[in-house]
Amino acid sequence: MTERTLSGIGVTPLSGVGTVVWYRPDADLPEPPAAEDVDAEAELARFEDARAAAEDELEAERERTAERVGEEEAAVFDAHVQFLNDPQITDGVTDAIEGGLPAEHAVQETFSEFVEQFENMGGRMGERADDLRDVRDRLVRVLSDGERVDLSSLPEGSVVVAERLTPSDTAQLDPERVAGFVTVTGGRTSHAAIFARSLALPAIVGVGEELQSVEDGAEVVVDGESGDFVVDPSDERKEAAAAAADVDIRHESVETADGVEIEIAANIGTLADLGPAVDRGADGVGLFRTEFLFLDRESPPDEDEQYEAYVEALESFDGGRVVVRTLDIGGDKPVPYLDLPDEENPFLGERGIRRSLGPDADLFETQVRALLRAAASADGANLSVMLPLVSTVEELRAGRERFESIAADLDAEGVENELPEFGIMVETPAAAFMADQFAPHVDFFSIGTNDLAQYVMAAERGNERVSDLGDYRQPAVLRAIDATVSATEGEDCWVGMCGEMAGDPDLTELLVGLGLDELSMSAVTVPQVKAAVAETDTADARELAERVLQADTKAEVAEILTLDQ
């Protein structure tokens, strides 16, 4: 059998191998019996029992979701209970039963009418239609006595494949038994995606209708990083996926073979990413992309909500450093409640620190207050803060002054606060050129290789036509990194790296040789990079770095690195 690859949006950087179990909650009901054969009284009683059972389930799932994912996600179950007990629904179902339909058909008919109404209204109403469908399917499942796939007791190694997975569906999944899931619809921020990340399950969403062609029982590989869903995988493919899933996880910090400690941290977007970061053995967080706290909502998180988020991140690691990047909003990251300008080149426009010191000064102030307070919390000494997209010393100074003046405001209000360790992202060529001027003003640099490569090479990220140019193995990018690290010599300033390059275990030795003190990456590659650090000898690594820095082409860089493997 030859393998076949379908592609979707990978939502967790994890791989899994398993067997397809199709989940089709809205499978057709059998034809109803003739109206005169239906005992209306008995059916009404069945409906009442089912309603009570469904409400119990919803309460339980609400609790579980609040615990596993968060209060925000759990609130949807309150709406479900209200739909379940809505007088229009109960009256409709009662009428339908009295008109001669069995309970499940009456539920199906009544809900479908409202689902259709809401769908026709479009917009926000579409979400309510999803909620209604979810409640309807739950009632029908309870009534039909679990004749369909029960998500809570799947065989081990199941890969759940579905049109969509609702919050109710995902709340039932047993992560111990499920090897991953794949859906026809959905995006990076859909319920299912958030859930997959919080449970560290390999998952792909938005594969499209082609997914329907995959059969129940098929053997598959779910690559939640690339978004590849491989059906009938080759043995090599399965082994590679299994190897990726089965690595030794070190929870202790790691040293090179000659005893130099290198901090290996995780990049996170939301609090749901903390679990996988801890599970994969990250020492802390090297990049907390706080803009994710601001996306996909109608209004910005307030000071208390942010404070709690930062404290939760700090408490997740036993003494591990948590580097929070202040808001990096602009251009490519639309936020509905902010009036973002239309710019011809958003990546070269008003983004990052440029907005925080300009139009988003109020948002920035709220964030800084939350950060200063978090730095005074029990684990606050481990908090570090960095500014994104800094390109001038004035921006750095202005950012730092904002922290100091807001700290003075908090002092005046009698609110406990501390100034955290302070740094900047090095992601513009300007910052790399000026690193020696920046270094005396900061405690650390964190090199953001995705943007640095894009700006150094003038090659847009995600544009396949120029992907060869935008590669972080281009000699110019490596020299920018080297210049940044070298500029800190003799200064009390450590240098870290966040971005995809830091998580590439084939480059770990080179990065140690270039003098990086910390590497931060998506949680999934933490074990591989820790293993690579343990095998590295710093003297050899420095020698490797020197040779690589002499290379005049990317091909030569790649050749030196391959020969070295």
Partner 1 sequence: MERTVTVVPEDGLHARPASQFVETANSFDADIQLGRADEDDLVPAASMLAVTGLGVGHDESVRLAAEGDDAEAALDALEDILSTPEAKQ
| Contact positions vs partner 1 (CB under 8 A) | 71, 75, 78-79, 82-83, 86-89, 114, 117-118, 121, 123-125, 127-128, 132, 298-299, 302, 337
Q: Which is nearer to partner 1, 251 or 297 (CB)?
A: 297
What DSSP designation does 249 have?
P
Helix, strand, or coil (residue 424):
strand
Please pick, among 105, 191, 441, 493, the residue that the annotation labels catalytic.
191
Q: How many residues does the chain have?
A: 565
Please report how close the Cβ of residue 111 comes to partner 1 at its closest, in angstroms. 10
Q: Which residues contact 19 (CB under 8 A, 6 or more apart)?
A: 155, 157, 158, 159, 217, 218, 219, 220
Considering the complex, state which of residue 86 and residue 109 has its C-beta at the smaller distance from partner 1. 86
**564 CB neighbour count, 10 Å cutoff:** 15
- Work out how close the CB of 199 gets to partner 1 at its nearest, in angstroms, rounded to a whole number: 24
Region class of 227: left (phi > 0), else alpha (psi between -120 and 50), else beta = left
Burial 264-287 (b: 16+ CB within 10 A, else e): bbbbbbbbbbbbbbbebbbbbbbb
> Min. distance of Cβ 188 from partner 1 in angstroms?
20
328 in helix, strand or coil?
Answer: coil
- Interatomic CA distance for residues 195 and 64, integer angstroms: 12
Q: Which of 80, 105, 493, 498 is catalytic?
A: 498
152 vs 237: CA distance, rounded Å: 29
Structural contact between residues 523 and 276, judged by C-beta atoms closer than 8 angstroms: yes
Tell me the closest approach of the beta carbon of residue 104 to partner 1, in angstroms. 20
Q: Is 191 a catalytic residue?
A: yes
**Residue 127 Cβ vs partner 1, minimum distance, rounded to whole Å:** 8
Contact 216, 20 (CB under 8 A): yes
Q: Which is nearer to partner 1, 84 or 396 (CB)?
A: 84
Taking the least distance from each CB to partner 1, the nearer of 132 and 178 is 132
Nearer to partner 1 among residue 114 and residue 229 (C-beta): 114
Minimum distance from CB of 431 to partner 1 (Å)? 36
Q: Give the C-alpha separation, 238 to 219, whole Å.
A: 10
Q: Where are the beta strands (DSSP E) in 485-527?
A: 494-498, 518-521
- Residue 286 or 300: which CB sits closer to partner 1? 300
| Measured distance CA(479)–CA(514) in Å, rounded | 10
CA 202 to chain centre: 12
6 DSSP 8-state letter: E
* Alpha helices (runs of H) in 385-472, residue ranges in sequence order: 393-413, 429-433, 435-438, 449-457
**Which CB sits closer to partner 1, 47 or 288?**
47
Nearer to partner 1 among residue 70 and residue 505 (C-beta): 70
Angle 254-535-505 from CA coordinates, rounded to 5° = 85
Report, in Å, the least distance between residue 381 CB and partner 1: 30
Catalytic annotation on 498? yes
Residues 217 and 230: their CA atoms lie apart, in Å, by 14
To partner 1, the closest distance from the beta carbon of 87 in angstroms equals 5
Measure Cα distances from 555 to 263, 286, 361, 473, 562 in Å: 29, 30, 45, 9, 10
Q: Torsions phi, psi of 172, nearest 5?
A: -85, -20
Which residues form the catalytic set? 191, 498
